[in-house]
Amino acid sequence: MTAYRFAYSPCPNDTYIFAALTHGLVADAPAVKVLLEDIDDLNIHAQRGAYELSKVSYGAIPWLMDRYRILRSGGALGRGCGPLLVARADTGRTLKDFSGLRIAIPGERTTAFLLLQLALGLRPQTTVMRFDAIVDAVAKGHVDAGLIIHESRFTYAEQGLIAIADLGAWWESASGCPIPLGAIVVRDDVAVGQAARIDQAIRASLHFARNHEAQIMPYVRAHAFEMSDDVMRKHIELYVNDYSDDLGADGLAAVRELFARGRAAGIFEPHAEARML
């Protein structure tokens, strides 16, 4: 049987969830051929329909709905896990201070950038760079501020930066919903029955990881070589939760609210809707 190409990030939450599926440890699961890519690259490649399965940002999904559906498992949603805007202490203190300044972002279609635009009420000046280069660029003064995601939220203070705004906290306060960060999408040419099997296999892969960590943590560690074990564990604890198992009713409501706000702000097209499996 031909393996489905499955692209996801090397971040600990993804490698933790998908390790068992990747290594054939999930009984009766469809075969997958894994590719590891930065989230911005994942969004770009998904827009071209490059892979049958892909992790993507919710901020990118409105541009993917002509060819992909959202799975209920494997995604990244939660509370207290949103992106942060960080800067040097002498640059500014409030979000509005940065309306006219240059901000490094991890991608044009990331949920982080969507939330920044919604919170600011405008599209700021930006420079796109890999998420793991942003903190250093801010600290060296190459940009005025940085929009950070993933493990950078645990390390930015080590370079003397301060948090200007917690965009996850802003979203939760404004909407009352958890933060929809990323999802697993399946291409339309994968039959519905097979897509459902994949969805269940991802859920089983997460259950395997929780019950057999000793077998999957070497894979997680191998792709988290630039972070300490403490940061790696914090990353998993923050981003892997009940929503990773199933989107659930409140997770789906959060996705719909994000789309509604994106449409109202003119960032998404008026017809943009989330297509679920």
Tell me the per-residue pLDDT of 10-63, one tens digit each, with 9 for 90 and over: 999 999 999 999 999 999 999 999 999 999 999 999 999 999 999 999 999 999
Quick one: 250 and 138 in the same domain? Answer: no
Residues 95 and 205 in one domain: no
Domain boundary among 175, 200, 219: 175
Catalytic residue among 45, 150, 223, 235: 150
Strand positions, DSSP E, the chain: 4-8, 32-36, 53-57, 68-70, 76-78, 84-88, 102-105, 125-128, 145-148, 161-166, 179-187
Return the exposure string of 46-57: e unless at least 16 CB atoms fall within 10 Å of the residue's CB, then b. bbeebbbbbbbb
Per-residue pLDDT, 2: 81
Residues 98, 43 share a domain: no
Instruction: Give the pLDDT score at 226.
Output: 76
Instruction: For residues 249 and 224, state if they share a domain.
Output: yes
Pick from 175, 197, 214: which residue ends a domain?
175
Q: What is the CATH number of the domain that holds 145?
A: 3.40.190.10
CA angle (240, 172, 111) in 5-degree steps = 65
CA distance 136 to 25: 38
* Separation of alpha carbons 206 and 194, rounded Å: 19
With respect to residue 272, please indicate whether it lies within any of the assigned structural domains. no
Q: Is 70 among the domain residues? A: yes
Q: Which of the listed residues 130, 154, 175 is the one where a domain comes to its end?
A: 175
Q: Which residues pair with 148 in a beta bridge?
A: 84
User: Distance (Å, rounded) from C-alpha 233 to C-alpha 24?
Assistant: 24
pTM of the model: 0.94
Domain contains 270: no
- On whether residue 275 sits in a domain, the answer given is no
The residue type at 234: K
Tell me what pLDDT residue 1 has.
Answer: 62
Q: How many domains does the chain divide into? A: 2
Enumerate residue ranges in the chain where pLDDT < 70.
1
Domain that holds residue 47: 4-78+179-264
Q: Do 189 and 74 belong together in one domain?
A: yes
199 within some domain = yes
What gap in Å lies between CA 137 and CA 245, rounded to an integer? 35
**Whether 150 is catalytic:** yes
Residue 191 domain flag: yes
Neighbours of 261 (CB within 10 A): 18
